Amino acid sequence: MRVRTRETIVVVLVIWSLVVAAFMLLNRALDLEVFFVLALLGLLVLVELTDTSTVQPGPVRRVKYVVAAGVLVFGWIVANKVLEILAR
């Protein structure tokens, strides 16, 4: 039986994002940066779980580009937070 990697990654990431959003709403702490970091964390976990050492399906290879862009945005968020702290 063939595993549909692309659909699985998308469904699990959407469920993870909805769970994160629900907890943020329940906590009344809506912050887009925190949501982005938690969604990126979920994506990184998914990529590690679906990545194999020998064969990489096309969707997994393409998701790595999204992960790289997410890491760059994460670095930008961290740099802004550090500058915000130093400006005080």
Per-domain residue ranges of the chain: 5-86
Per-residue confidence at 5, pLDDT binned at 50, 70, 90?
low
| pTM (2 d.p.) | 0.77
Q: Is the pLDDT of residue 88 over 70?
A: yes
Percentage of the chain modeled with pLDDT above 90: 45
Per the structure block, which two tokens stand in for 48? 């590690």
Q: Is the pLDDT of residue 19 over 90?
A: yes
More confident residue, 57 or 37: 37
